[in-house]
């Protein structure tokens, strides 16, 4: 294999694929990226056996061929080459070395046989539909903060994506929860998604696809089965295994009859929570919200730090209520509200609180209160 490629194009694609490669792996071939040069394209492929990414980039291929090279080392070399440079990549089967040349620099990397590289793609994906990149971004951004990191409840370590019937008719719904808070967002069901199985997309897959959609405005083709999911757009294809588990019945934890309603200016409320939480202890991050007609008072105290109180104007005219929250969880939810006003619906100090944007009903958040 012999080819020449522009550094910037190679670096961009390498950055995408190398982030899939695990830093510590007991299987040497999984530390490598597969390089395949053919008719005007260099194809880069990396996998961790659960997630697989293939990205193609234009290159001047003199001699087609394929090999595998250490992903992180290869990426670091290309990253440190000067801007605007051309990179010549050559692989000779005789010595099993990949040679990189650019300007006056020359690097030789030890390769592993391309035949040993695992193939994750393949298998039937009966459901397929197209999403705009902005829609997928919304589904991910508004739910990913609530994904659990607790390995024992592995079925919560991802976003649950499924078809459902919502307030606007048939919808594609994304849900994530860690037991303390829950996020649910929906968009109109795209053509081809009807009847799809409910799937749990792993946390790492969510992070990788989110990085990729930042750099594209193209529509994304989503194909899936009960065990596998594929995102295809532009020059990249990301294939992932799904979490094999049953997502809990989240509808049961969303209260329908919370009657104490608070409406606040989202930005000023979030900033006040942030200020007051400076006092709360690192471990509990607890703050207290005291509600009376027309006012909301935020307070926090800790034996070692002292206390803080801030009063805000608010739209509230139910009976007085005191309720405690984890300030970080509360700020995570408020960060998702894009409009000016947030609506809190509460029942009492021990029941879940429902938060939503006043102007947009597509997203709903549930937050468990704390004892303070």
Retrieve residue 26's tokens. Answer: 């007991």
- Residue 279 dihedral angles phi and psi, to the nearest 5°: -85, -35
The answer as to whether 372 is a domain residue is no
Do 225 and 321 belong together in one domain? no
What average pLDDT does the segment 161-169 reach? 91
What does the pLDDT read at residue 203? 97
Residue numbers of the domain that contains 262:
254-367
The answer to whether residues 13 and 91 belong to one domain is yes
Among residues 225, 252, 279, the one where a domain terminates is: 252
pLDDT of amino acid 121: 63
Final residue of a structural domain among 217, 252, 287: 252
The model's confidence at residue 361, banded by pLDDT at 50, 70 and 90, is confident
* pLDDT range class, residue 156, cuts 50, 70, 90: very high
List pLDDT tens digits, range 121-136.
678 999 999 999 999 9
> What contacts 285, CB < 8 A, 6 or more positions away?
277, 326, 327, 328, 329
If pLDDT is split at 50, 70 and 90, which confidence band does 310 have? very high
SS (H, E, C) the chain: CEEEEEHHHHHHHHHHHHCCCCCCCCCHHHHEEEEEEECCEEEEEEECCCEEEEEEEECEEEECEEEEEEHHHHHHHHHHCCCCCEEEEEEECCCCEEEEEECCEEEEEECECHHHCCCCCCCCCCEEEEECHHHHHHHHHCCHHHCCCCHHHHHHCEEEEEEEEECCEEEEEEEEECCCEEEEEEEECCCCCCCCCCEEEEHHHHHHHHHHHCCCCCCEEEEECCCEEEEEECCEEEEEECCCCCCCCHHHHCCCCCCEEEEEEHHHHHHHHHHHCCCCCCCCCEEEEEEECCEEEEEEEECCCEEEEEEEECECCCCCEEEEEEHHHHHHHHCCCCCCEEEEEECCCCCCEEEEECCCCCEEEEECCECC
The predicted-structure confidence for 203-221, as pLDDT tens digits, reads as follows 999 999 999 999 888 999 9
Q: For residues 166-172, give the mean pLDDT.
A: 90
Q: What is the structure's pLDDT at 45? A: 97
Q: Is residue 122 part of a domain?
A: no
Domain endpoint, select from 219, 235, 252: 252
Residue 147 has pLDDT above 90, yes or no: yes
Give me the chain's average pLDDT, please.
Answer: 95
Q: Are residues 207 and 244 in the same domain?
A: yes
Whichever domain contains 195, its CATH number is 3.10.150.10
Residues 242 and 301 in one domain: no
Task: Give residue 40's pLDDT band: very low, low, confident or very high (50, 70, 90).
Answer: very high
Please state, in angstroms and rounded to a whole number, the distance separating the CA atoms of residues 320 and 137.
39
pLDDT at residue 6, as a whole number: 97
Residues 241, 183 within the same domain: yes
Same domain, 215 and 228: yes
> What's the total number of domains in the chain?
3
What is the percentage of the chain residues whose pLDDT exceeds 90? Answer: 90
Q: Answer yes or no: are the C-beta atoms of 18 and 55 closer than 8 Å.
A: no
185 and 151 together in one domain:
yes
pLDDT at 292 over 90: yes
pLDDT of amino acid 114: 95
Give the sign of the dihedral formed by CA 110, CA 114, CA 119, CA 122. positive
Does the residue 322 lie in any domain? Answer: yes
Q: Note the pLDDT of residue 120.
A: 79
**Domain-embedded: residue 193:** yes
């Amino acid at each position: 294999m012999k080819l020449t490629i522009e550094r910037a194009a190679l670096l961009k694609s390498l950055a995408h694929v190398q982030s899939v490669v695990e830093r510590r792996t007991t299987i040497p071939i999984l530390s490598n990226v597969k390089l395949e040069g053919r008719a005007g394209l260099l194809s880069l492929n990396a996998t961790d056996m659960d997630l697989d990414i293939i990205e193609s980039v234009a290159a001047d291929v003199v001699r087609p061929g394929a090999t595998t090279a250490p992903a992180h080392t290869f990426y670091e070399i290309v990253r440190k080459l000067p801007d605007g440079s051309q990179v010549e990549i050559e692989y000779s089967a005789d010595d099993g070395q990949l040679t990189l040349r650019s300007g006056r620099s020359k690097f030789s990397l030890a390769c592993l046989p391309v035949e040993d590289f695992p193939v994750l793609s393949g298998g039937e994906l009966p459901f397929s539909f197209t999403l705009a990149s902005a829609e997928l971004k919304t589904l991910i951004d508004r739910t990913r903060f609530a994904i659990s990191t607790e390995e024992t409840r592995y079925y919560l370590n991802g976003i649950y994506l499924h078809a459902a019937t919502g307030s606007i008719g048939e919808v594609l719904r994304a849900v994530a929860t860690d037991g303390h808070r829950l996020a649910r967002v929906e968009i109109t069901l795209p053509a081809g998604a009807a009847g799809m199985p409910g799937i749990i997309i792993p946390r790492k897959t969510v992070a990788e696809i989110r990085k990729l959609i930042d750099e594209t405005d193209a529509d994304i083709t989503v194909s899936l089965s009960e065990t596998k999911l594929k995102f295809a757009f532009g020059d990249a294809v990301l294939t992932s295994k799904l979490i094999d588990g049953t997502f809990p019945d989240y509808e049961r934890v969303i209260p329908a009859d919370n009657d104490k309603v608070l409406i606040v200016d989202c930005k000023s409320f979030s900033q006040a929570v942030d200020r007051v939480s400076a006092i709360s202890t690192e471990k509990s991050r607890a703050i207290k919200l005291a509600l009376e007609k027309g006012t909301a008072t935020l307070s926090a105290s800790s034996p070692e730090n002292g206390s803080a109180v801030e009063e805000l104007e608010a739209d509230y005219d139910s009976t007085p209520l005191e309720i405690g929250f984890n300030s970080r969880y509360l700020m995570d939810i408020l960060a998702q509200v894009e409009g000016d006003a947030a609506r809190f619906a509460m029942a009492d100090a021990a029941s879940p609180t429902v938060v939503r944007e006043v102007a947009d009903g597509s997203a709903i958040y549930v937050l468990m209160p704390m004892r303070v």
